[in-house]
Amino acid sequence: MENIKVNFEIKKNNLKEFIRILIPELVDEEITITEIGCDKNLELELEVFGKKIIFSYENHLDKLEDQRLVMCKVGLLKLMDKKYPWGGLIGVRPTKLVRRFLNLSYTYEEIEKLLRELYLVTPKKIKLLIDVVKKEMNFLNRDHINMYIGIPYCPTKCRYCSFASYEMKGTIGKYYNEFVDTLIDEIVLTGEFLKENPNKIESIYIGGGTPSILTEVDMERVLRSVNENIDLTYLKEFTLEAGRVDTLTFKKLDIMKSFGVERISLNPQTFNLKILEKLNRPLDRKRFDEMFDYAKKIGLIINMDLILGLPGETTEDILYTLDELKKYPTENLTTHVLALKKASILFKDIQNPIPLDYEKIEKKLFEITEEKKMKPYYMYRQKNSLEWGENLGFAIEGTESIFNIEMIEENQSTLGLGGGAITKSIITQDLNIDKIKRIVSPKEPIAYVREMRERLPKKLELFK
Ligand code: SF4
């Protein structure tokens, strides 16, 4: 950290992290940043490699207490002539920044100006960001909470996966029955607590893993237990992730429907079957189509997840998947950029990723979603996806997922049950900063089984 010299107080760790991600060539270089003016304008002089610039911008310190830090980051981008679509924004939740500005009484026009001039975000990304925030604002509801139930089992482990999930056929699979029994105990105990300590549950999301891996009998047991023990008076949305069609049956879809689930996610990720085979995520297209048609017939809202840029895929492959997508009358679509995490098996394998024509892909994606009358309604980013850079949720108006919005915005508290579930308590601190308390349940089924009764009271304490 000694290589960064500043004449004012600053979170150097934060700046260092920014440099590591966006300007790695400066990690060990001598950087000098000097505040040379702080009146109508805030003025910083930045120097590295003997090159100097002065970055001057209107003084917003009365509202933006981190303006100096932002200007250090963006000033270094300017100095090094680095241009990124998201400019100096590396956070996972850029929409939260816009909401923070709104809370600070900036107008949308002023926010656009700040993003353009202070953060160097491109006009295209600014428009996307503002459009998404305007949509989200219709749904945010701090007075209610949501519930997440985690089932950390999958039929096979996808090679790019970094989530809490275990193969059913692997050694952890033998704890499946104990896991389901414990989950039902946790739902019953939570229901008892909520009778004494009412919380308004607005949405429930059963995720994982792949929760549709539950046997028909267990799916009915789990859903019945939710229906019988949890007060659903305020429930607006009930989703069960059915990402892998190899786990689905017609009967499971009927069970979901009969217990109030009204949304599922069917996730092809790509329609290039050879790629899926290589990624240990085989897809039977005929079965996919049958399950899709049946889910549609019984009136479930369907989301599809796609990953744009799976290892081995070319631009043409991705365009093919987007074309295939046209065949499915899905209400929601979520597109992900693959950012391999260290926990995935593939992380070490990828040496030479295939360069992709992101502009072409993006153009097609927006054309198709427009044809389907879908609009982007939530988004988040991954730190190491610089060029393309965002995961986007699209929805036909009126089918937006409240749960997804609340999760990404970290606006609503989440009561997390099951394996790997994250419980979050969100407390308003002041106008623009929330205090977030997190409790993570063990993702390993056996640890979850052993520790559930000891851990649950600590989670529930947050909802008194
Ligand atoms: S289906 Fe999802 S959670 Fe399961 S292994 Fe694949 S990526 Fe991981």
Strand partners, 167: 154
Tokens read off for 248: 């689905």
Rounded to whole angstroms, how far apart are CA atoms 155 and 168? 6
Rounded to whole angstroms, how far apart are CA atoms 22 and 91? 12
**In a 10 Å sphere around its CB, with 0-12 CB exposed, 13-18 middle and 19+ buried, how is residue 370 labelled?**
exposed
Residue 95 located in a structural domain: no
What is the best residue among 153, 159, 161 to mutate for testing ligand 1's pocket, by most ligand atoms within 8 Å of CB? Answer: 161
422 lies in the same domain as 298: yes
73 lies in the same domain as 200: no
Tokens read off for 240: 């069960």
Residue 88 located in a structural domain: no
Q: Are 42 and 67 in contact (CB under 8 A)?
A: yes
Q: Read off the pTM.
A: 0.92
Residue 201 located in a structural domain: yes
Q: Look at residue 431 in the predicted model and tell me its pLDDT.
A: 60
Angle, helices 445-461 vs 176-196, to 10°: value is 10
Q: What is the full DSSP assignment across 28-60?
A: TS-EEEEEEEESSEEEEEEEETTEEEEEEEE--
Atom of ligand 1 nearest to the CA of 160: 7
H helices present in 248-284, as ranges: 250-258, 273-278
Nearest CA to ligand 1 atom 6: 158
288 lies in the same domain as 418: yes
Residue 135 located in a structural domain: no
Q: Which long-range contacts (CB under 8 A, 24 or more apart) does 430-437 make?
A: 431/103, 431/104, 432/100, 432/103, 432/104, 433/100, 434/410, 436/410, 437/462
Q: Are 46 and 32 in contact (CB under 8 A)?
A: yes
275 lies in the same domain as 366: yes
End-of-domain residue from the set 82, 99, 132: 82
Atom of ligand 1 nearest to the CA of 244: 1
427 lies in the same domain as 348: yes
Residue 195's Cβ-side half-sphere holds a number of Cα atoms within 13 Å equal to 8
Atom of ligand 1 nearest to the CA of 209: 3
Atom of ligand 1 nearest to the CA of 162: 8
294 lies in the same domain as 203: yes
End-of-domain residue from the set 40, 61, 82: 82
- Starting at the earlier edge strand, list the strands of the sheet with 51-58: 4-6, 31-38, 41-48, 51-58
Angle, helices 216-229 vs 176-196, to 10°: value is 10
List the one residue out of 199, 205, 213, 200 whose CA is nearest residue 238. 205
CA–centroid distance, 394 to ligand 1, in Å, is 21
Residue 42 located in a structural domain: yes
Residue 153 located in a structural domain: yes
Residue 105 located in a structural domain: no
CA–centroid distance, 241 to ligand 1, in Å, is 11
Q: Look at residue 384 in the predicted model and tell me its pLDDT.
A: 58
- List of the chain residues with pLDDT < 50: none
The whole domain housing 3 covers 1-82
Q: Look at residue 311 in the predicted model and tell me its pLDDT.
A: 85
CA–centroid distance, 295 to ligand 1, in Å, is 21
CA–centroid distance, 306 to ligand 1, in Å, is 13
Residue 116 located in a structural domain: no
215 lies in the same domain as 299: yes
CATH number of residue 233's parent domain: 3.80.30.20
Q: How many domains does the chain have?
A: 2
Rounded to whole angstroms, how far apart are CA atoms 408 and 426? 13
172 lies in the same domain as 312: yes
49 lies in the same domain as 159: no
| H, E, C per residue of 306-326 | EEECCCCCCHHHHHHHHHHHC
Residues with CB under 6 A from ligand 1: 154, 157-158, 161, 163, 165, 208-210, 243-244, 281
359 lies in the same domain as 440: yes
Q: Look at residue 8 in the predicted model and tell me its pLDDT.
A: 92
149 lies in the same domain as 76: no
Nearest CA to ligand 1 atom 2: 209
pLDDT in tens, 271-319: 999 999 999 999 999 999 999 999 999 999 999 999 988 888 999 999 9
Q: Look at residue 382 in the predicted model and tell me its pLDDT.
A: 78
Nearest CA to ligand 1 atom 3: 209
